[in-house]
Amino acid sequence: MYKISTISKALLAAGALSLLALLKVPIWLIYLTAPQYPEGLEMKIWHNTITGDVKIISALNHYIGMRAISEEMFPEFQYLGTIIMVVAAVCLVLALIGRWWSALCFYLVLAIADSFALYDFWRWGYDYGHNLNPEAPIIIPGMAYQPPVIGYKKLLNFEAWSLPDTGGWIVMSVTALALLIVLYEWWKNRKRKKETPGKAVTAPASAARAAILLPLLLWQCSTGPRPINYGNDACAFCKMTIMDNHFGAELVTKKGKVYVMDDANCFVQFLEKGGVGPEQVAGRYVADYIHTGTLLEAEQAVYLRSEGLKTPMASGVAAFSTLQDMEPVKAKVGGTTLNWEALTEAF
């Protein structure tokens, strides 16, 4: 899966770290007003406590049969701080991975956590507002006093607002930011693929070839080549982003791990210095210079080495499936024909 931009990666990392602020700021606010309390009453919910006009609100609630509000009503306070730190750490790791799938997981982790937190608050509010003391001083048949999860609600002569406080706004902002980054990076990658001719991964013809090759790939137990993601994949040897779809190479291990390279010299040097032993190799592949998007078995391909070829890392080498394919290019730029053994010796 393709990489996201450095800015997106940095924003996600900053967002993950900002979640730790929830350990120091209030997360949610409940605000009440009534004719007898024109200045209003408020209750702030933190990750481990409740502050504000809790005693006054509890005393008022007593008259209509609601229980006194206390920290003991919220067992979540015992572990919410740990959950916040774990979620922040997971999100930071996903941000540093810097791939589109990890950005999507970043968003999903927060979206699920947000949804669960709101559901847990709704569940507490339902129990608190419906399970009333039958011997309360004021009883209105059929009346329940469940506070709003978010937004406004009128309860008798009280008007109640339930809104995010500083921590809540942080969580919601980071979640929204993650969603925007996921959508933006998807849109940007889709646009780039449309604008890049001969894109091996996404062109309709390449998709058809992939469908044809699928049984073969399955037969090879997923140790065959995968399309090189030009514009996103980085060379495993020189670390440069692979851009030119006339060139490229892949090494596939018997465990299915894929290493991609941008030029023939990087490929040969990676084979020598990349830490993958010959006994671990399932296949070596090179990009077809003529048929962009096609990967050839390195040992079966034929190679042209010429100073007239402008290659990513100045190897001057292009791969072809046949000598017939090579001849028009060789007639134009000159050069020497090589096989796989000669190529590996040349670098």
The last residue of one of the domains, among 159, 188, 217, is 188
80's tokens: 């919410």
Tokens 């933006």 correspond to 184
Whether the predicted pLDDT of 219 surpasses 80: no
Residues 19 and 160 in one domain: yes
d(CA 318, CA 225): 18
Which DSSP state fits 46?
A: -
**Is the pLDDT assigned to residue 201 strictly greater than 50?**
no
Domain membership flag for residue 57: yes
Residue 196 within a domain: no
Domain residues for 139? 6-188
Domain membership flag for residue 201: no
* One-letter identity of residue 159: E
1 inside domain: no
Structure tokens at 99: 């791939």
How many independent structural domains does the chain possess?
2
User: Is the domain of 161 the same as that of 13?
Assistant: yes
Q: What is the mean pLDDT of the segment spanning 5-25?
A: 96
Name the band, by pLDDT with cuts 50, 70 and 90, for residue 221: very low
Top pLDDT among 184 and 293 is at 184
Alpha-carbon span 182 to 110, nearest angstrom? 13
Confirm if 225 and 213 have CB atoms less than 8 A apart: no
Specify if 340 maps to a domain.
yes
Domain assignment present for 84 = yes
82 & 226 share domain: no
Other C-beta atoms closer than 10 Å to the C-beta of 199 total 20
Scan for tokens 């037969």, then name that residue. Answer: 219
Query: Are 83 and 48 contained in the same domain?
Result: yes
pLDDT of residue 1: 67
Domain assignment present for residue 195? The answer is no
| Confidence band of 196 (pLDDT split at 50, 70, 90) | low
> In which band, very low, low, confident or very high, does the pLDDT at 346 lie, cut at 50, 70 and 90?
confident
What's the rounded Cα separation, in Å, for the pair 273 and 120? 54
Given a contact cutoff of 8 angstroms between Cβ atoms, the answer to whether 166 and 25 are in contact is yes
**Shared-domain flag, residues 223 and 175:** no
Same structural domain, 156 and 60: yes
Residues 88, 221, single domain; the answer is: no
Verify that 44 and 108 share a domain, yes or no.
Answer: yes
Contacts of 205 (CB under 8 A, 6+ apart): 293
Indicate the helix (H) or strand (E) that contains 87. Answer: helix 80-97
Sheet architecture: strand order including 151-155? 50-52, 37-45, 28-34, 158-164, 151-155
